[in-house]
């Protein structure tokens, strides 16, 4: 814990930790020492972790990187962070992210951009750590903490993991409680760990997962010992390679790492099967209807009355002006764009044409996966992102759709509720990490992590 706190103090250029909690960290570290001395060593005992700013942490600023939540100190602790604390984890502070987890580069944050500790060889251009869990990924990659929490609505754990050479798992929807996790799109959001290794991810997921009566979508399904399932034995398993993910213009380095990962699984005794997920191309547009629709509803609560920021009012301003000014000042541009898109697709005149249609597409995407698994596929191997980490400011500043295209491989499994694990597989010609994702059957994170263990 002391080593991490020292490293964090020297890490300002990364802008990963946005609130430090050294007092809490030292108190919990001492408590962990006491537990160890008493012969009681829970799974995360004394392990220093960072917490994404989207998790409510009691008495500690929790702003989801938004000015609208400026100064918000929750009265309660999220279930996931409480479970981590109960398992002995030591919270070092809160981590940067895209505002309300909307973004793929951590460039939409009230704290400013987070920076990737990796550089292209011979080139000092500052790169994105990915998003929205960019601070979590940067902090783990730069050894500021041993592990971090992330959330994944459409790729926000897996893409930052890929951009920083770290491991991240988005569990099955319902595996981890969403209680106290500030909502973006409630039917897609999932909490998960971001770590340095598959083994760490297995241990930390075990601590984060479990049924919570406070979240009606949390599943009452036993949490197995994920770590015990890491045998490295995948002989006879069937790995699906979805042909629709070989999109036009897929960069050669991404195709090459995908082939490399396929060969590694084959060498370990798995059978490689060409599969089709025919509705894949509709996933991204469906996601960018469903997610903003839910966001526009979830973000209605930031009205200047209950939380955080309230605009200064002028003479004659009434409650309507208070709402309008507060929301105009408090929300960043990307969040405002999503609220407008979401309101539009849910409006009486367009609901059927957009929202209802996207819901139907979602059902078809889910069925594609179900068919593959019914055919005996154990896990699906696919790219995570169409590129390695890109330069800050390089994508999307004037063209938000270019940024959305980054999510083309990740949103599918959120729409289907399935687990997906990101694992670093190699480096590109510039020396940047490249990762791949494995997608698994619902509730079979242990088996999925075992496949990732072979790729690591």
Interacting residues with ligand GLN between 177 and 206 (CB under 6 A): 184
User: Which residue has 């526009």 as its token pair?
Assistant: 296
Interacting residues with ligand GLN between 121 and 150 (CB under 6 A): 132
Of the candidates 156, 177, 218, 296, the residue annotated as catalytic is 156
Active site (annotated) includes residue 52: yes
Give the integer Cα–Cα distance in Å for 161 and 172: 18
Residues whose CB is less than 8 angstroms from the CB of residue 9 and which lie 6 or more positions away in sequence, other chains included: 20
**Residue number with CB closer to ligand GLN (4 or 65):** 65
Residue nearest to ligand GLN (CB): 156
User: Which residue has 């070092």 as its token pair?
Assistant: 92
Residue 104 found at the interface with ligand GLN (CB under 6 A) = yes
Residues 269-298, mask of contacts with ligand GLN (x by CB under 6 A)? ----------------------x-------
Of the candidates 11, 52, 133, 238, the residue annotated as catalytic is 52
Residue 218 found at the interface with ligand GLN (CB under 6 A) = no
> C-alpha distances in angstroms, 162 versus 42, 99, 196, 434?
29, 20, 12, 6
* Least CB distance to ligand GLN at residue 297 (A): 15
Give the integer Cα–Cα distance in Å for 446 and 456: 15
**Residue number with CB closer to ligand GLN (46 or 103):** 103
Residues 413-442, mask of contacts with ligand GLN (x by CB under 6 A)? ------------------------------
* Least CB distance to ligand GLN at residue 107 (A): 11
Q: Given candidates 4, 101, 127, 415, which one binds ligand GLN under the rule CB under 6 A?
A: 101
Give the integer Cα–Cα distance in Å for 34 and 36: 5
Q: Give the dihedral of Cα atoms 235, 228, 171, 243; nearest 10 deg.
A: -10
Of the candidates 104, 132, 133, 177, the residue annotated as catalytic is 132
Q: Given candidates 46, 48, 93, 154, which one binds ligand GLN under the rule CB under 6 A?
A: 154
Mark the segment that binds ligand GLN (CB under 6 A) among 100-108, 121-129, 232-240, 262-270: 100-108
Residues whose CB is less than 8 angstroms from the CB of residue 17 and which lie 6 or more positions away in sequence, other chains included: 8, 11, 50, 92, 93, 94, 95, 96, 135, 139, 144
Give the integer Cα–Cα distance in Å for 173 and 190: 6
**Residue number with CB closer to ligand GLN (288 or 453):** 288
User: Structure tokens of 341?
Assistant: 């898109």
Mark the segment that binds ligand GLN (CB under 6 A) among 96-104, 249-257, 321-329, 437-445: 96-104
User: Structure tokens of 135?
Assistant: 């601070």
User: How many of the other CB atoms lie within 10 Å of CB of 229?
Assistant: 16
Residue 155 found at the interface with ligand GLN (CB under 6 A) = yes
Active site (annotated) includes residue 58: no
User: How many of the other CB atoms lie within 10 Å of CB of 282?
Assistant: 18
Binding site for ligand GLN (CB under 6 A): 101-104, 132, 152-156, 184, 291, 407
Q: Residues with catalytic annotation?
A: 52, 132, 156
């Amino acid at each position: 814990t002391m080593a991490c706190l020292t490293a964090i103090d020297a890490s300002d250029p990364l802008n990963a930790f946005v609130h430090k909690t050294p007092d809490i960290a030292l108190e919990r570290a001492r408590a962990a020492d006491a537990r160890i001395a008493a012969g009681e060593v829970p799974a995360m005992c004394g392990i220093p972790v960072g917490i994404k700013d989207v998790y409510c942490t009691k008495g500690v600023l929790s702003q989801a990187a938004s000015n609208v939540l400026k100064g918000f100190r929750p009265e309660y602790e999220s279930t996931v962070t409480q479970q981590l604390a109960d398992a002995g984890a030591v919270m070092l502070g809160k981590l940067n992210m895209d505002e309300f987890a909307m973004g793929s580069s951590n460039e939409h944050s009230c704290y400013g951009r987070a920076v990737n500790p990796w550089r292209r060889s011979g080139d000092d251009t500052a790169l994105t750590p990915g998003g929205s869990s960019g601070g979590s990924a940067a902090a783990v990659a730069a050894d500021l903490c041993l592990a971090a929490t992330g959330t994944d609505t459409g790729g926000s754990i897996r893409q930052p993991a890929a951009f920083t050479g770290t491991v991240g798992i988005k569990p099955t929807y319902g595996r981890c409680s969403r209680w106290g996790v500030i909502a973006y799109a409630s039917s897609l959001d999932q909490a998960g760990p971001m770590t340095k290794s598959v083994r760490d991810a297995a241990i930390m997921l075990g601590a984060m997962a479990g049924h919570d009566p406070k979240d009606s979508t949390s599943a009452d399904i036993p949490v197995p010992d994920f770590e015990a399932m890491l045998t490295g034995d995948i002989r006879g398993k069937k790995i699906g390679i979805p042909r629709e993910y070989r999109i036009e213009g897929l960069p050669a380095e991404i195709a090459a790492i995908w082939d490399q990962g396929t060969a590694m699984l084959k060498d370990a005794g798995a059978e490689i099967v060409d599969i089709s997920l025919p509705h894949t191309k509709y996933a991204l547009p469906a996601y960018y209807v469903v997610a903003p629709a839910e966001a526009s509803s979830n973000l209605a609560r930031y009205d200047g009355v209950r939380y955080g920021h309230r605009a200064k009012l002028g003479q004659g301003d009434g409650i309507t002006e208070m709402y309008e000014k507060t929301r105009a000042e408090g929300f960043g541009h990307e969040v405002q764009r999503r609220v407008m898109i979401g309101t539009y697709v849910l409006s009486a005149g367009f609901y059927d044409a957009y929202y209802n249609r996207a819901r139907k597409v979602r059902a078809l995407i889910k069925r594609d996966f179900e068919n593959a698994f019914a055919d005996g596929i154990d896990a699906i191997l696919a790219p995570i992102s169409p590129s390695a980490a890109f330069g800050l400011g390089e994508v999307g500043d004037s063209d938000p759709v270019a940024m959305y295209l980054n999510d083309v491989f990740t949103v599918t499994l959120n729409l289907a509720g399935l687990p997906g694990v990101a694992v670093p597989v190699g480096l590109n010609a510039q020396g940047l990490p490249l990762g791949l994702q494995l997608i698994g059957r619902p509730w079979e994170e242990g088996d999925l992590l075992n496949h990732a263990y072979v790729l690591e």
